[in-house]
Amino acid sequence: MNEEAMLKIDAAIDEIENYVSGAHRVPLLEKVLVKDDELFHLMDNLRNEIPREVSEALEVCHRRDEIISVAQNEADQIIERANKEAQEIIDKAKLFAQKTVDENVLVIQAKEEAMNVKNQTEESVKKLQDETTAWVQQQREETDAYVKQQREENEAYVKQLKEDAERYAVQMFDHVLANMNSAINAIHNDVGGVMQAMNQAKEQIHSANKKV
């Protein structure tokens, strides 16, 4: 995973934590007050960083075919050069044999030399082809492993971010619910006080009427 992208995401999370930890605390309650617009702004910053990391992972996946294509092209060029060199050697051997056709001994030696060169060239070409094929396969396997690792790391990191966001949302909901309960209790207490005062006034009026 890109280290710079992870640092940016961690920084966005730190901003949210610092904002919440530095928010104004409600007296006598284990709660804090936060501005929703500021919190939403910090959450937007976090969301902007996540797609960048996902885009980088997709780019790695796209480069897989590019890397394999480049490796295959290089392998084809190597094989083509080897075949060309082999053909040049064979042509030179044939030319040498033709020049010595009138001399039986030289003709036999030339043919044997040409055959040896041909066999050696074919072995070299086959060896080079096998090595190139193995190298291309290794590059493909390493690229697939890297892409798989990046995908798994990205999925795990995004999952963790979602869980953290959901946990924080639950905490904020509990905080808002607690504030609402406190407000409702305060209103209930105020209404009870008004009712008690009205009853006292009623009793005073009733007593005054008895005295008269």
CB within 8 A of 136, min separation 6: which ones?
68, 71, 72, 75
User: pLDDT value at position 50?
Assistant: 64
Neighbour tally for 52: CB within 10 Å: 14
Using CA atoms, how far apart are residues 78 and 129, in angstroms rounded to an integer?
9
Using CA atoms, how far apart are residues 172 and 190, in angstroms rounded to an integer?
27
Q: Measure Cα distances from 182 to 86, 144, 171, 196 in Å.
A: 91, 57, 17, 21
User: pLDDT value at position 98?
Assistant: 78
Give, for all 212 residues of the chain, the pLDDT tens digit.
566 666 777 777 888 778 777 776 767 666 767 677 877 787 787 777 666 555 565 566 566 667 677 767 877 888 888 788 878 888 887 787 677 766 677 778 888 888 899 899 998 888 998 999 999 999 999 999 999 999 899 888 888 888 887 888 778 767 777 777 776 776 767 777 767 777 777 777 777 766 65
User: pLDDT value at position 59?
Assistant: 64
Report if pTM > 0.75: no
